[in-house]
Structure 1
Amino acid sequence: MMKPEDYMQQAYRCILQNDFEQAIRWFEAAIHAHPEHAELYYRCSITHARSKHLLPALEYARKAVELSEGTEEYRLHLQTLEAKQLIIKAKLLLEQSAKETSKPYVEASMLLQEAIRLDPLSVEAYVMLALAYSDLNEYRSALQVLQDAILLDPQNGQLQQMLQETKQRMRSMQ
């Protein structure tokens, strides 16, 4: 029987050749052979996440955290994935929302606040939260969130532009 490291070596060979699907198969074979090895779940989760397979990535990340009894690196990875999932849910709410009701915006803003708590470096979550606040006419909150995003990504000109547009909308409402 192959050792976990042998499987990982095969998986990394595939990753270097940009064959992420084959790498996932190697990680999953390793997990099948060594079901109590937390790092295999973690590495498989990362590869799934890079391939935009969020649900299996979350599943493997949860198992890695469980098996490792909360290893910090694994826990942070799981939180980042959970934040991504919340961002996707919020996006769907905002896209489906009808203008006459504020309920989807309120719900989306709550999901995005949680996403930021889980992954405080997600500029995307800050931007979407600012948009949701703007749509709720909560311009002060939108400005604060945009300023936080600018601190994370000071070179992003679009954030500066959004900040100026939000300030203008706020002035026009006064």
Structure 2
Amino acid sequence: MSTETYIQKAYRCILQNDFEEALRWFEQALQADPGDAEVHYRCSITYGRSDRLEMAIFHAEEAVRLQPDKPEYRLHLQHIKAAELVRNARKMVDSRQDVTPSDLYQAVTLLKSAVSMDPLHAQAYVWLALVYSELNEHAQAISTLKEVIALYPQESGLQQIMEELKQRLKSYMQD
């Protein structure tokens, strides 16, 4: 089978929301032609949508290695790496009861890196704002959230988070 046939089968699966099967077709396309940067790129996107970021990063890095002159490959790689940083920061602050200020500051570092890598990554800003709020750095939290609201003014959920942050600041000031 040709690489193009594998890709067509993968896209049919994507249209049916069967990402696992799509990934199998992309991987078969790569077995047929491991040097095809475009297939690595498409495969990476599908792994990313499936929240399998390690594999998404692997294939994005391969696409960039094979065709470094394609800006969309580099942007995608930055986006996937930023998503991984956000996920790691979330794990640090979300999954543990005994989160220390040191953990929170480490999460801030990861989230700032994510924002730097992908300035349009809304979740990075939101989580950064929430972590700042946990550190009682409410002005910084509000400022960070204002940045993402400026990027995505249509997102009503951001306004709700802003109100919660303002309430936390008000409560903090009264204590």
1:44 maps to what in 2?
43
Rounded to whole Å, the distance in 1 between the matches of 2:40 and 2:145 is: 36
Runs of 4+ in 1 over 3 A off after TM superposition: 171-174
Rounded to whole Å, the distance in 1 between the matches of 2:92 and 2:143 is: 22
Q: Deviations over 1:46-83 (max 9, x none)?
A: 11122222211111111111111241111111111111
Rounded to whole Å, the distance in 2 between the matches of 1:20 and 1:171 is: 45
1:80 maps to what in 2?
79
- Contact 1:97–1:104 (CA<8 Å) still a contact in 2? no
| Equivalent residues, number | 172
What secondary structure is seen at the aligned counterpart in 1 of 2:31?
helix
What's the offset of the Cα at 1:97?
5.8
What secondary structure is seen at the aligned counterpart in 1 of 2:29?
helix
The unaligned stretches of length 5 or more in structure 1 are none
* Correspondence 1:98 to 2:98: yes
Q: Deviations over 1:93-146 (max 9, x none)?
A: 1122625x3101100011011111112112111111011111111122111101
The unaligned stretches of length 5 or more in structure 2 are none
Alignment TM-score, normalising by the size of structure 1:
0.89
Rounded to whole Å, the distance in 2 between the matches of 1:35 and 1:68 is: 13
Deviates more, 1:64-73 or 1:107-116: 64-73
Alignment TM-score, normalising by the size of structure 2:
0.88
1:153 maps to what in 2?
152
Deviates more, 1:12-21 or 1:130-139: 12-21
Deviates more, 1:39-48 or 1:90-99: 90-99
What secondary structure is seen at the aligned counterpart in 1 of 2:114?
helix
Rounded to whole Å, the distance in 1 between the matches of 2:170 and 2:50 is: 43
Deviates more, 1:152-161 or 1:135-144: 152-161
* Correspondence 1:53 to 2:52: yes
Rounded to whole Å, the distance in 2 between the matches of 1:117 and 1:66 is: 22
CA shift in 2, pair 1:168/1:15, >3 Å? closer
- Contact 1:150–1:159 (CA<8 Å) still a contact in 2? yes
- Contact 1:97–1:105 (CA<8 Å) still a contact in 2? no
2:11 maps to what in 1?
12
Q: CA RMSD in A?
A: 1.8
1:68 maps to what in 2?
67
- Contact 1:42–1:64 (CA<8 Å) still a contact in 2? yes
Q: In percent, how many aligned pairs have the same letter? A: 48
Residue type of the partner of 2:98? Answer: A
